Structure 1
Amino acid sequence: MAGARIILDEMELRIPVASGKGKTSLLIAYDKEVSVTGKIASYIVTWSKEAFYLRFVEYGTSHSAANPFMRPAFEAKKNAAAEAVRQVIDEKLKAANGK
């Protein structure tokens, strides 16, 4: 979740704002298919179903050019997100070992 929050924050900064609804449609979702209870928690950063049109903004259409915000946000913050995840894991391990 720590890494996903960093990516989401960057996406909110980069998303093109025409009406403002796109920014409020961004969310973090728990991925049940990849997660294993008690072992692995996987999260995805995406948009709500109501904001389906954001895929057209991200990837473009035959009538409009792409205006990507999702991939650039990930690329800009992937190292910071990985570091945030590492820090959370380190904290949990230290707490489990009593340090």
Structure 2
Amino acid sequence: MATASRIIGLVKLQRKIGRLSKVAKQEIKQALEQSAEEIVSLAKSLVPVDQGALRDSIGWTWGKVPKGAMTIGKVAEASLAGELTITIYAGNSDAFYARWVEFGTQKMGAQPYFYPSYRANKKSTRNRIRSSVRQAAKQVASS
């Protein structure tokens, strides 16, 4: 004997799932921007300043980094990495010595500023992204 079942509200559920990706992207984008600002701010406060060119070269972007910039990596939500990827960088054509300050040379000791700021904010960034995804899901579910 065959039994048939019907899911009530399937169309409504599918609509909500479709909206989730849009809302989640917006929430994740805001979380990534806030995290990038925190990492950049800490890096700027840790970098040794002579004339300020290196400090002024530290930043983040959604696009390509300036020529000659050093990147620590990319802050991205793994499932949406193609669209939501922020790159944090230091150095440019004026501050080409960013790597030498960070890692040191034979004659100059390292003065790390870039990786410590990333490591200090890594856990809070991850938590912020997770929270933004949960918040987006709740927002879509309640509508």
TM-score (norm 1): 0.75
Q: What residue is the counterpart of 1:78 in the other structure?
A: 122
Task: Quote the offset at 1:42 in angstroms.
Answer: 1.5
Match of 2:23 in 1: none
Residue 49, structure 1, aligned to residue 81, structure 2: no
Please identify the structure whose Cα radius of gyration is greater.
2
Equivalence for 1:27? 59
Unaligned runs of at least 5 residues, structure 2: 1-31, 65-73
Give the C-alpha shift of residue 19 in structure 1. Answer: 1.3
Distance 1:9-1:88 versus aligned 2 partners, 3 A rule:
farther
Partner of residue 107, structure 2: 63
Q: Which residue number corresponds to residue 12 of structure 1?
A: 44
How far has the Cα of 1:90 moved from its partner? 2.8
- Taking a change above 3 Å as real, the CA distance of residues 93 and 68 of structure 1, as seen in their structure-2 partners, is same
DSSP 3-state at the match of 1:49: coil
Asked if 1 retains the 8 angstrom alpha-carbon contact of 2:91 and 2:97, the reply is: no
1:48 positional shift: 3.9
TM-score scaled to structure 2, two decimals? 0.56
Pair 90,68 (structure 1): closer, same or farther in 2 beyond 3 Å: same
